Amino acid sequence: MFKIVASRARASTPHARNALLSYNVSRSGHALSSATVEAEEISGSRPAEVLNLVQGKWVGASKWNTIVDPLNGDPFIKVGEVDETGLQPFVESLASCPKHGLHNPFKAPERYLMFGDISAKAAHMLSLPKVSDFFARLIQRVSPKSYHQACAEVYVTQKFLENFCGDQVRFLARSFGVPGNHLGQQSHGFRWPYGPVAIITPFNFPLEIPVLQLMGALYMGNKPVLKVDSKVSIVMEQMLRLLHTCGLPVEDVDFINCDGKTMNKLLQEANPRMTLFTGSSRVAEKLAVDLKGRIKLEDAGFDWKILGPDVDQEDYVAWVCDQDAYACSGQKCSAQSLLFMHENWASTSLVSKLKGLAERRKLEDLTIGPVLTFTTESMMDHMKQLLEIPGSKLLFGGKPLEGHSIPPIYGAIKPTAIYVPLEEIVKDKNYELVTKEIFGPFQIITDYKSSQLPTVLDTLEKMHAHLTAAVVSNDPLFLQEVIGRSVNGTTYAGLRARTTGAPQNHWFGPSGDPRGAGIGTPEAIKLVWSCHREVIYDYGPVPNRWEIPPST
């Protein structure tokens, strides 16, 4: 790893920071000069500290929340959490940003270029092996997942930043013109920032989700306050320090650690013009009411996969199903929660192969690990309720992990699959139970006949969250039927279809809800982080011999 060489003092000017970065990179073999922690050295005896950033200064708080190591329960991170009495600096900071933003097509357009440069420098930093390894291992410490999965998160973030280098940020603000009714009149449509905004992101992707949404907000000219789940906020604290080193003005982003109640109060008092929330549907619905609809949501998803009638590449399909359901211990908002197998697939060895793949996963390499939002007991209770449904059965898993020191506040179970008959799933008394999202290594499997496809599609229609889906088939008529009668915002179709593993090159987000937020692409950034403004130029000339007409 590399040494800590930066202090927690306020960053210097952008030019000085960039010069220091170049000097340190060339002198120390690409050491991360901004890092204030060593991922592998964080422990109960050497706890890390996470600060807040407001009005350009890193500050602590009157209260320190102790985060325990999800693998052994040791108190290993101290997070300075702001309480309701400490919100005023954050309120004032957001209030300092006008509604027309920090930049827009008519104001400070050079900032579009600045963010293209920042993206280029940050992308380069994340491409360096020592830097990407630092963030991957830091992610593993707070949101345990395999090294491969953690590296993939860093890679997607780096490629996203590459996508918005150079002129690509200003291209996000591309306008259009339409001829008017008479000489001198033209209407122009512009993408306009909201100004003061808020971003709230969850624990499961502590780098990718906050960076992609934060940079999108900044690109369009907004000033965000960012809150990341305190369990993992150390990752984004370190990334912000890197971004400052790459030229991000320290006053452009506020970073707050606090509990949900305090954040809700901040939103009420600061009144941001728009809030992006990624997380549970329950919290999302509450915020939508509290914020009077000024919100974009990328909320939870009970995500489904349908295996069509054409059976092919059984080993490959089984492997994708295992990855979709159990990678990151199932803690992806895109995780496969419900698998519909056509009767042709049900007669193959797919389930036994899926069982074998699931049983390869082990805690030692974090291909299975702690569940941070459900306890073992709650997941086992849910399984018991499902097994009371007539015809249901445990296919594999269904037991707690053994031989570990994961604290009891978190969950630890083996990858689990439960079969529930389709005719039981559709019953009102069972439907809510079967489609309850368990944010862990847990899925429902069922089968259907060709004649039951309408029942399957009706089941999808009843769902409330429509994030990701997969239709595994190369039959174009089957794909047409399923895609035409479903709404999931990110839907994969074809033999290689999956529900997880979204790269940076396509839209990721829900559909069927006007509040739905996307992430990653220019379309997502423009939808979430800007609004439309129309400017109608009408220069004249006024026609010769014009006279005041009669009143109308």
In DSSP notation, 403-449 reads: S----TTSB-B--EEEE--HHHHTSHHHHHHHT---SSSEEEEEEE-
Are residues 266 and 368 located together in one domain of the fold? no
Quick one: average pLDDT of 177-198?
Answer: 97
Residue 105 counted as domain residue? yes
Q: Catalytic residue among 298, 377, 388, 437, which?
A: 298
pLDDT for the residue numbered 191: 98
Q: Catalytic residue among 333, 359, 402, 481, which?
A: 333
Are residues 146 and 226 located together in one domain of the fold? yes
Boundaries of domain holding 249: 87-299+522-531
Quick one: average pLDDT of 46-50?
Answer: 97
* Other residues' Cβ atoms within 10 Å of the Cβ of residue 545: 5
pLDDT for the residue numbered 280: 87
- Find the CATH number of the domain harbouring 121: 3.40.605.10
pLDDT for the residue numbered 489: 95
Residue 6 counted as domain residue? no
Are residues 267 and 349 located together in one domain of the fold? no
Quick one: average pLDDT of 188-197?
Answer: 98
- Told to judge if 333 belongs to the known catalytic residues of this protein, a careful annotator would answer yes
Residue 538 counted as domain residue? no
Are residues 211 and 178 located together in one domain of the fold? yes
Are residues 312 and 412 located together in one domain of the fold? yes
- Find the CATH number of the domain harbouring 365: 3.40.309.10
| 3-state SS, residue 274 | strand
Q: What is the pTM of this model?
A: 0.92
- Told to judge if 298 belongs to the known catalytic residues of this protein, a careful annotator would answer yes
Residue 31 counted as domain residue? no
Residue 325 counted as domain residue? yes
Are residues 120 and 255 located together in one domain of the fold? yes
In DSSP notation, 107-124 reads: B-THHHHHHHHHHHHHHH
Residue 347 counted as domain residue? yes
- What are the φ/ψ torsions at residue 280 (nearest 5 degrees)? -70, 150
Are residues 109 and 218 located together in one domain of the fold? yes
Report the domain count for the chain.
2
Are residues 156 and 288 located together in one domain of the fold? yes
Question: Binning pLDDT at 50, 70 and 90, where does residue 301 land?
Answer: confident
Give the mean pLDDT of the chain. 93
- pLDDT (tens digit per residue) in 380-433: 999 999 999 999 999 999 999 999 999 999 999 999 999 999 999 999 999 999
Quick one: average pLDDT of 164-188?
Answer: 97
Cα 330–Cα 494–Cα 434 angle in degrees, nearest 5: 40
pLDDT for the residue numbered 120: 98
Residue 202 counted as domain residue? yes
- What are the φ/ψ torsions at residue 24 (nearest 5 degrees)? -65, -40
